[in-house]
Structure 1
């Protein structure tokens, strides 16, 4: 797995909630998962298509864009969602025009301020492709000029019928991540699939992440592979708390345990060797992610008594982040698509995840209920990391995808603690 994709794995330290579950019995039930009924009409529901574009940068400067992976395109597109950017032909953000084509230029990491819809293909930056060729990071393009043109970044098919797709687009009401009928909403012109000529597929290991459990009664990790098979890894003993990430910076993700009795992490490497790291103390809950955005993943702890995360950097230094309070359960992931991983908490009393972005802002997501144990990883293999819960009462994972949909996976039993990672490196 590439380091750029394997930013935040495992994060099952949050499952240490098994030790504090007694604190949760009085919390009210909360129906945190999305309704299957129709959504209320919003501005985003009725705002579609282009809303005009600014002037394109000279295409001669962009005929060969920089190489970029599909997962990076999706991460970049997702990074503008929720920022409250206003559509403008003239204004810029991060150097790119805040219109549909400026947004696509940003996602593809082209030169600033970006091309317009008439220039992507004639300028040699992109080429027309067929519907069957579409992959995440490609786009649906209406190459008309001005307000008649529009472009949406393709993030994947919503189901096997291929009649609709998951996409990122900038319309007059802002940046949206939503389901779009193929090729686009009717009445907004002719849209065709297009591909950035410099895009490359992600390396093996950049596929979706997998669920797993740690069975304390046997000291075993039970990992679920992409094809549904089971792999058991003996590691740890009664009283240990599970954690997982890419400790050695290559190949599949690795398992580990936090031993409260000694305040040590015991991390297992690809070759089966062990690394011991002293970090934390009894009462702490383990967590992991790539806190500094480079090299292997890092470990950390959440200290419920102070509501603080204590994160260990590559050089062994400490970063402390105040986030959460007593009774919260820790989780971590790359919520905003930036280089570094982020912290978060699951609050059983409200059935909410409180996720911290790179800029310190808060995103709340209702998902789960009292008695659930939090987990996170990149379930759909694209865009930011996703949240989920393990429900011990049913032995099921309830995983939230980028578009807010629910995927259930039966894996584990009562008494197990959840963990996650890319166990099979996408193979």
Structure 2
């Protein structure tokens, strides 16, 4: 029999096991934090035709790893262990009553989503034993307990008592999708916060969730990546509707009663009645100076800037204020809730276009610490061109390392090397990217 051939190979760098997630967070560029089971994975390719017959090859052996479930992208099947019911801050917090006796404090949808975003923005790490500064346990059920404003840390076995079941068609931002696994309740269950539908087909939605390695916001197929048929929609019992617009708040136009149509109706190239409705609602909230001709059905830079100004007025930052309306932005505008846009001066004209592409705004807008609409515009174009592998979230206005590395990838695809591929877009990078 021929001697087997051994070959060492580097395992994939996107393994989602807790160990690899930890090493990526503390040593993102280290090669020492590889999956221990795959560090010296060996493939045996023996030429054994004499023993097994012509055309037969000895089987290959590799480090065992469970494959993702059907229809699930690799890295989606992540175990989310959770702790039991607990008081705030753990043992040091005040005692809690039995779940059946706890009254659900009142809150609004906007408050639920705002609290959920805080953990995402703070990149709160996942843990079933640690407690964040607000007193809530850093696992999936602690995250929902925090967003709903519950007086203690619940778990998937009790969260349903604080809500009422609703149908898929009734889901709205602030509701949850709950999967409680009675066969393995502490390690086989999960819960996510529904952030709104991504389009009119209702096949995907924006999910806020706490899962390894940290809290995240991500477009998610309905009802979830795996075990989808076991997730149940719930609406918080203590939900109070946002107050109607008061006398000192302009009432939105009658057309604003239209439910959020989905993200597909907004953005470059959009031309529909919902863009007009959005503009009308924005003008009623103080965005008039952004429009020179008034709102219309064709999406323009004025719509993006006006939407971004309204989002900034709510205290949102980063990807939450990129100028594209999501379900919560639409809901606040339609209900007359939220903060109006502060008095603004008419914005500067857009940088003139040249060579059939948007005008290059200059390198200064892409320096460390920069935050502006051009960074969002660049990121969205990188996504369209397929150079987005380093983005962990939707592109936003804050220039960061993810933007730079994606730009570098694009530059290298043009055959550039060295200083010409430094990840900072110059005029020629901009022209080629948008051409």
Q: So what's the TM-score if we normalise by structure 2?
A: 0.43
Find the structure with the greater CA-based Rg. 2
Q: Which has the higher contact order (CA 8 A, sep 6+)?
A: 1
Q: So what's the TM-score if we normalise by structure 1?
A: 0.44
Q: Higher strand proportion, which one?
A: 1
